Amino acid sequence: MKCETITGLGEGNGQKQENNSEASHNITPLLLDSWKPYKGTRANVKERLLKLRDCLESVCGIQWYGFATLGILTAVLSFLMDFSVAKLLQAHLWLYGKLEGHILLQFLCWTLYPACICAFASSFSHNICPFSTGSGVPEVRTMLSGIEVPHYLSLTNMFTKFLGLTCTLAAGSTVFLGKVGPFVHLSTMLGAYLDRLCRLIQGKKKDAGTEMMVVAAAVGVASCFGAPVSGVLFSVEVMSSHFALRHYCPCFFSAACGGLTFHLLSAWSRDGETLQALFKTNFPTATPFFPLEILLFALLGLLCGAGSRFYLFCHRWILKFTKTNRVFLTMLTTEKGLYSGLVVFFLALLTFPHSAGQYLASKWTTKQLLTSLLDSRQWSSQSHNASVRLELDSLEWSSSGAPIFLSLAFFLLMKMWMLVLACTLPLPAGYFMPVFVYGAAVGRLFGEGIAYVTTGRDVLGQQWTSVNPGGYALAGAAAFSGAVTHTLSPALLAVELTGQVTHAVPALLSTLLANALARSRNGLSFYDGLSISKKLPHLPSLKKACPQLPSTPLGQVMGVKSVQLQKAAGPAEVQSAVSNSSEAQIPVVDSHAEAESCFFINWMIIAFVQRIEGRLDEVCSIRPNSVVVSPHNTVQEAYNMLSVAPAQTIFVADRGKLVGQITWSEMKQILVGLAKDI
Amino acid sequence: MKCETITGLGEGNGQKQENNSEASHNITPLLLDSWKPYKGTRANVKERLLKLRDCLESVCGIQWYGFATLGILTAVLSFLMDFSVAKLLQAHLWLYGKLEGHILLQFLCWTLYPACICAFASSFSHNICPFSTGSGVPEVRTMLSGIEVPHYLSLTNMFTKFLGLTCTLAAGSTVFLGKVGPFVHLSTMLGAYLDRLCRLIQGKKKDAGTEMMVVAAAVGVASCFGAPVSGVLFSVEVMSSHFALRHYCPCFFSAACGGLTFHLLSAWSRDGETLQALFKTNFPTATPFFPLEILLFALLGLLCGAGSRFYLFCHRWILKFTKTNRVFLTMLTTEKGLYSGLVVFFLALLTFPHSAGQYLASKWTTKQLLTSLLDSRQWSSQSHNASVRLELDSLEWSSSGAPIFLSLAFFLLMKMWMLVLACTLPLPAGYFMPVFVYGAAVGRLFGEGIAYVTTGRDVLGQQWTSVNPGGYALAGAAAFSGAVTHTLSPALLAVELTGQVTHAVPALLSTLLANALARSRNGLSFYDGLSISKKLPHLPSLKKACPQLPSTPLGQVMGVKSVQLQKAAGPAEVQSAVSNSSEAQIPVVDSHAEAESCFFINWMIIAFVQRIEGRLDEVCSIRPNSVVVSPHNTVQEAYNMLSVAPAQTIFVADRGKLVGQITWSEMKQILVGLAKDI
């Protein structure tokens, strides 16, 4: 424990004096350890560093450099990962191509490569850091709502997650998992480290706030696709109940830095590509869509909403199944590597291009798949007329000569259960991009159908010459992924990814309707399901799973009475209170001689107290401001109050008597208790 | 006062019984007034209406129909206004064209038409509803932060604002004012009415929340331009400190309805136009910009930030000047119509096409002006080479043969002070669009300069063949308007208006840097300046103007002690307390016999109490939950707590003794008091 004497502070100048003590802290962390050698040189270097810091601070606060660094570093990580994954996928396809003619070798190459990679990723992440598996978004959401989740921000986790995710992505379209979720998590870990660094440079000793994490959530999405605006909207959406406006500018700033770096790296690495949208499309600009098509977009939204409910049902079922079935349970707890290897081998068996894979476009990467689905040209007419058949697009989708509708329907049918199965893999992996592509395929099938039916016909007096199936694929992708995650930002993401602003309104409409269907009757989102399955203390998910839960009165769920001190307490009492309490602050109550039941908190001790002579209120800096609620207030109300309360502490008093104190750690205990009941 | 007996409620089933009483309310509002004729028919109609309501409610909550209606109606209003303004402007130009050759008549036509229109709008709005002048955004911001501003949501105001705004816009580029701000206000008024309607249909009697207003703020921007996403971002930004996530989906839903209706109306009204972006641009897609141009965009952002500070300084100066100068003060208080007429006549004198107007492109509407500024082709090279000179674009900008740079610089110089002068007009008018166009002109000048310098030269080894000045105009528009209003949504608005997603990142970067410069050293935004000049109780503005103000302890600024009741109070005490208090709720304190200083609030009466027999706690429904703060808490803290407190009431207790109660109306008084000090 540290030894600090605390001078008595008046009530008014508390703030001021705090600033002064901050200023005196500024120098200490860099000039400590005076016993080390090369005193002169070190002092010189440190002085220059301090000057540099002052120079930097004169432009803007240190944390802004932190935000910029966060954006840039995340984008560099994202680019590095994309680069390595591309090389690994290329190597796989090269090998597969070289073995042309030897079907057995080709088969082994096709199946063993992803199986080995995934088995490795699984055992690696299990052994180094078991918390690195999965998407990480449910944990990030919990942390953003103010509750600490241990182990999820460690450096080991970051390293493991990065390597594991690269392996997962290198398994390609066989495993068909994405990178968004883990990237949000990676960026949060990076943010936590940069936050500590900024605090070290500033010489602040306060606890880390959630600001850097809110920003990091935005940067994760922004750097993944170079889409800053949807990144910020994602960050707004994952915040539990209130988005604080002071985070708005940092979010945009960091996301813009990340997006810019991502675009610039792409532009500089590949000579041909410039600063365009990631999935560039060539939608016709003259007539993006006919007014009446709006109704079809709405119908597509409802279709995607229904599809998402089915997917979520299957996902929850398999989550439950793996937790109750004995074989799965044993495999998943003891033999993670083997399980991953077997499942991926089975999936690869199906996607092998000489078996069912020929209908699944399995040779394509996720990016190629999405680009082909978003193509504005009509496929069905191309299939009709062999002379205008386009080599690139139709090659994979109807390589066996099967009609395009059958091919797409088979793709949808197979990918649904394959995706649900892949979600059980104990790997670092994202579940957003697959749903996005799946939605695009749903939209494409719908759009191709519309185009086939309307070509050359009059629809209510209008000649629908060229219905664009790519537009439906865009809206479908946004609607399906939005419905699965219960968010609206995919609509904007789809626009930012493709550069089609004209389709923003239809995509938004489809996403809204899909969301309405997915959320009806307290439907759980994908992340809610994971949160509840993992028993995370995340209030909004608990609320959806069991709507009456957050209105439990506080008195029913509160823990033991907290340590408290009398205002006139002597040294011995303070000593024992400090040794009994693990908190940095202890409530001080003011008792009036006669009234036995009349305790009331008005003060709090700011720091650990060790050496005390005289009365408590004479020696200690005591904060007189406090927020008090009653035990009859609900958990939800206490939660809301806590998120805006000064010093992040609220007191619970029943008829004037202090019965407890709630900080985020108490709130976490309460929520964990509630989560157990579900 | 209404006569209601209140049955005694246990503490637990308060919520339930409330729901029951709501259910019984459901039928009453529609089946009252039984003395009117045609009982049978009316009963029949009402029954069908009730069935319709139940039918509607089975799909989704009534308020969702309200949101949709709000979006659609606002878009229709916006479209109607655009339509009438276009006709009025056309009529003016037609008349002006007919008078070709008669320069005196042309002069009279040019000057008197807008002067008369504006004089009419000014006197009309002054006489019908004096609160309809100006933008309305400062008042909307105040209302969104929870504080009521009377007269600003009345039907008269809506009517006056609509008509007045149409007149202002019909004065065209002479007055050079926009429609965004007033439209946000109009949409808020519409929202308030729809909210009441929804509550009537639902049979709820509760006070209106701010939900509909938050949604309306988003819809205002969305319907103005058909840009739903930036509308929602605007709504997030104008919320005072925390954006509640429960408003997120309604905002998007309503904004999407509004945007869609606006696009569809545009598509159906003009045969040629389809569902494209409002200001369609043809930026080259192959190379949107070179990587190094990012630095130039950043520089432009800083330039716009500096420009915005100058503009804001001028604006604040003229606000102060009109309040202190005796001539202006007399004119603005007594002769508003005359003042408007004179100022507009003076402005028209300058924009007369045969005088300085020839350099100001004064024959163009705001839309034409913006479209020409966003043109991707380089003007300076066209001016050089007469053979490729484009008729349309250069005609207005350099009709006198003056070089394009001089023309643009003159435009910027003149428009600055003309705009500042126009801001003093007592008319319903928006101040966003002019700044947006001004910023586009700044960006255009910058971009033309860059294009002129770099054409055909090597820049760090790269051949910058075609720098796009339109891209700079886009970024400049976003940056300048963002800096003036201290918001980031203009960056997205610029993208949505033009459909150029590739320029999203540069525009965002410019806007961020411009904002950083504009916000540095507690710079006030345009709306903050208006708020403070109008002494509105808006805490974030007050905080910017005087940063130490919100940390005033609550005890210093609180009003008189509120009425309170003992728990064991008899009928007479309750009677007198009810007649002394204007609030719907009265705090009830629990006193312990011996301890004199030991009052403590634990309960609140829910409704007016009239007939009481027996003790208070036996007859009345008393809510046991409460939030208590101390008088040492700051105003800012109390404000934050109030915005999340259950029942929107917090109590102030000093050492266990109730010293006051804070609701939004008390908070308003406190803030008005603070605003006076500035």
pLDDT of residue A672: 77
Closest Cβ–Cβ partner in A294, A496, A654 for B260: A294
Q: What is each CA distance from A378 to A383, A397, B15, B515, in whole angstroms?
A: 9, 13, 57, 45
Chain A residues within 8 A of B523 when measuring between CB atoms: none
Query: Which pLDDT belongs to residue B299?
Result: 92
Q: Given a cut of 90, is residue B304 above it in pLDDT? A: yes
For B16, the token pair is 């339930």
Q: Which residue of B has its CA nearest to A257?
A: B509
Q: Is B632 helix (H, G, I), strand (E, B) or coil?
A: coil
Chain B environment of A654 (Cβ under 8 Å): 602
Collect all residues of chain A within an 8 Å Cβ-Cβ radius of residue B597: 592, 595, 598
What's the N-to-C CA distance of chain A in angstroms?
40
The H or E element that residue A416 is part of is helix A404-422
CA distance B660 to chain A (A): 14
DSSP string, A39-92: HHHHHHHHHHHHHHHHHHHHHS-HHHHHHHHHHHHHHHHHHHHHHHHHHHHHHH
pLDDT score of A471: 87
pLDDT band for position A646 (50/70/90)? low
CB contact under 8 A, A627 and B641: yes
Judge whether residue B478 has pLDDT over 90: yes
Q: Where does the pLDDT of residue B305 fall: very low under 50, low under 70, confident under 90, or very high at 90 and above?
A: very high
Give the range with max mean pLDDT: A29-43, B222-236, B569-583, B658-672.
B222-236
Burial of B104 (0-12, 13-18, 19+ CB in 10 A): exposed
Smallest Cα distance from A624 to chain B, Å: 6
Task: Provide the 10 A C-beta neighbour count for residue B575.
Answer: 15
CB contact under 8 A, A628 and B632: no
Which of chain A's residues have a Cβ under 8 Å away from the Cβ of B632? 11, 602, 624-625
Is residue A376 a contact partner of residue A284, using CB atoms and an 8 Å limit? yes
Could you tell me which residues come within 8 angstroms of residue B92 by beta carbon, excluding any fewer than 6 positions away?
Answer: B109, B113, B114, B170, B172
Distances (CA, A) of A673 to A130, A535, A635, B639: 24, 9, 12, 31
Mutation choice for B interface testing from A596, A622, A628, A649 by most B CBs within 10 A: A628
Burial string for B120-135 (b: 16+ CB within 10 Å, else e) reads bbbbbbbebbebbbbb
Candidates B15, B508, B592; nearest CB to A597: B592
Inter-chain touch A496–B499, beta carbons under 8 Å: no
Assigned domain for B348 exists:
no
Q: Which among B244, B275, B287 has the least Cβ separation from residue A274?
A: B287
3-state secondary structure of B555: helix
- Degrees (nearest 5) of the Cα angle A8, A9, A11? 140
Report the residue from A253, A508, A625 with minimal CB separation from B633.
A625
Q: Do A627 and B632 touch (CB under 8 A)?
A: no
CB contact under 8 A, B229 and A504: yes
Whether residue B592 and residue A590 make contact (CB cut-off 8 A), yes or no, is no
Assign B38 a pLDDT band (cuts: 50, 70, 90).
Answer: confident
Q: Is residue A518 part of a domain?
A: no
Pairwise CB contact (< 8 Å): B644 & A646: no
Does B178 have pLDDT greater than 80?
Answer: yes
Last residue of a domain, one of B238, B269, B300: B269
Q: Which of B437, B467, B434 is nearest to B449 (CA)?
A: B467
Q: How far is A529 from chain B (nearest CA, A)?
A: 20
Residue at A575 is within a domain: yes
Strands B242-244 and A242-244: antiparallel
Neighbours of B548 (CB within 10 A): 8
Contact B439, B371 (CB under 8 A): no
Instruction: Kindly report the number of other CB atoms within 10 A of residue A258's CB atom.
Output: 37
Counting the structural domains of chain A, the total is 2
User: How much is the mean pLDDT over chain B?
Assistant: 77
The amino acid that residue A407 corresponds to is: S
| CB-based contact B259 A505, cutoff 8 Å | yes
pLDDT of residue B383: 47
Pairing of strands A627-629, A650-654: parallel
Residue A16 lies in a domain: no
Residue type, A310: F
Domain that holds residue A554: 550-677
* Residues A11-36 as b or e (16 or more Cβ within 10 Å = b): eeebeeeeeeeeeeebeeebeeeeee
Joined together, the tokens standing for residue A340 give 């991953």
Contacts with B57 from chain A: Cβ below 8 Å: none
Q: Which residue of A has its CA nearest to B286?
A: A274
Rg of the Cα atoms in chain B: 29
Task: Give domain status of residue A578, yes or no.
Answer: yes
Test the A interface: residue of B275, B296, B496 with most A CBs within 10 Å: B275
Query: Cα dihedral sign for A412, A413, A414, A419?
Result: positive
Picking from A477, A490, A493, A484, the residue whose alpha carbon sits closest to that of residue A436 is A477
Residue pLDDT, tens place only, A507-560: 999 999 999 898 888 788 888 888 888 888 887 777 777 777 777 777 777 665
Report if residue B210 sits inside a domain. Answer: yes
Give per-residue pLDDT as tens, A357-409: 777 777 888 888 888 888 777 776 654 444 444 444 455 666 556 677 888 88
Q: Under an 8 A CB cutoff, do B275 and A291 touch? A: yes
Closest B-chain CA to A628:
B628
Strands A587-589 vs A601-605: parallel, antiparallel or unpaired: antiparallel
Q: Is the pLDDT of residue A50 over 70?
A: yes
Q: Name every chain B residue with its beta carbon within 8 A of the beta carbon of A146.
A: none
Q: Do B291 and A267 touch (CB under 8 A)?
A: yes
Tell which of B293, B464, B501 to mutate to test the A interface (max A CBs under 10 Å).
Answer: B501
pLDDT for B6: 31
Report chain B residues whose CB lies below 8 A from the CB of A260: 294, 505, 509
| Cβ pair A246:B248 closer than 8 A | no
pLDDT at A477: 93
Any idea what the CATH number is for the domain that residue A644 is in? 3.10.580.10
B328, pLDDT greater than 80: yes
pLDDT in tens, B222-241: 888 888 888 888 888 876 66
Answer whether residue A662 shows pLDDT above 90. Answer: no
Q: Determine the average pLDDT of the residues in A108-137.
A: 88
The helix/strand/coil state of A560 is coil
The CA distance from B423 to the nearest CA of chain A, in Å, is 28
Nearest by CB to residue B627, choosing from A289, A501, A641, is: A641
B607 has pLDDT over 60: no
pLDDT of residue A465: 67
Using pLDDT thresholds of 50, 70 and 90, give the confidence band for residue B207.
Answer: low
Nearest one of A215, A194, A219, A192 to A74, comparing CA atoms: A219
A496/B492 touch (CB, cutoff 8 Å), yes or no: no
Most confident residue range from A148-157, B281-290, B381-390, B474-483: B474-483
- Nearest chain B residue to A511 by CA: give it: B253
- Count the neighbouring beta carbons within 10 Å of the beta carbon of residue B671: 25
Average pLDDT over residues A122-128: 89
Contact between A482 and A451 under an 8 Å Cβ cutoff? The reply is no
Cα–Cα distance list, B564 to B649, B658, B664, B665 (Å) = 14, 9, 18, 17
List alpha helices for B270-422, DSSP H: 293-324, 326-334, 336-351, 366-373, 379-384, 391-397, 404-422
Closest Cβ opposite residue A275 in set B243, B248, B291: B291
CB contact at 8 A, A632 and A557? no
* A609-647 CB burial, b ≥16 within 10 A, e <16: beebeeebbebbbbbbbbbbbbbbbbbbbbbbbbbbbbe
Structure confidence at residue A647 as a pLDDT band (50, 70, 90): low
Q: Which residues of B touch A501 (CB under 8 A)?
A: 277, 495-496, 498-501
Indicate which CATH number applies to the domain containing A187: 1.10.3080.10
Would you state the pLDDT for residue A153?
Answer: 84
Chain B residues with beta carbon closer than 8 angstroms to that of A500: 501
Judge whether B413 and B393 are in contact, CB under 8 Å: no
pLDDT of residue A22: 42
- Give percent above pLDDT 90 in chain A: 11
CB neighbour list of residue A238: distance below 8 Å, 6 or more residues apart: A137, A140, A141, A144, A217, A487
Q: Which residues of B touch A245 (CB under 8 A)?
A: 236-237, 239-243
* CA distances to B213, B226, B494 from B436, in Å: 25, 16, 9
Local confidence band at B264 (pLDDT 50, 70, 90 cut-offs): confident
Q: Does residue A584 lie within any of the structural domains?
A: yes
| Range of weakest confidence among A309-318, A423-432, A656-665, B295-304 | A656-665
- Measure B503 CA to nearest chain A CA, in Å: 9
Q: What is the mean pLDDT of chain A?
A: 77
- Residues of chain B found within 8 Å of residue A502, distances taken between Cβ atoms: 275-277, 499
CA distances from B120 to B161, B183, B430, B431, B595 (A): 13, 20, 18, 20, 68
Q: How many CB atoms lie within 10 A of CB A469?
A: 25
Q: Which two structure tokens, joined as six digits, stand for B414?
A: 């003149």
DSSP string for residues in B183-250: HHHHHHHHHHHHHHHHHHHHT--SPP-SHHHHHHHHHHHHHHHT-HHHHHHHHHHHSSSEEEGGGHHH
Query: Is position B109 within any domain?
Result: yes
| Closest Cα in chain B, distance from residue A651 (Å) | 9
Which chain B residue lies closest to A258 (C-alpha atoms)?
B505
Percent of chain B with pLDDT over 70: 74
* Chain A residue with Cα closest to B551: A15
- The three state secondary structure string of A439-457 is HHHHHHHHHHHHHHHHCCC
Residue B30 pLDDT: 47
β-pair type (B565-566, B587-589): parallel
Chain A residues closer than 8 Å to B285 by CB:
276, 280
Shortest distance, CA A278 to any CA of chain B (angstroms): 10
- Counting one residue from A and one from B, how many pairs have CB atoms under 8 Å apart? 237
How many Å apart are CA A192 and CA A139, to the nearest integer?
A: 14
Contact A268 B246 (CB under 8 A): no
Residue of A229, A466, A588 to mutate when probing chain B, most B C-beta within 10 A: A229
Domain boundary among B235, B251, B269: B269
Residue B285 DSSP symbol: S
Structure tokens at B556: 């210093």
Q: Which of B502, B505, B515 to mutate: most A Cβ within 10 Å?
A: B505
Examine the pLDDT at B54 and tell me if it is beyond 50. Answer: yes
How far B294 CA lies from chain A's nearest CA (Å)?
9
Contact A229 B229 (CB under 8 A): yes
Task: Please say which residue of B250, B269, B288 terminates a domain.
Answer: B269
Lowest-confidence pick of A444-448, B433-437, B626-630: B626-630
Query: What are the angstrom distances between the C-alpha of A575 and each of A591, A607, A658?
Result: 19, 13, 21
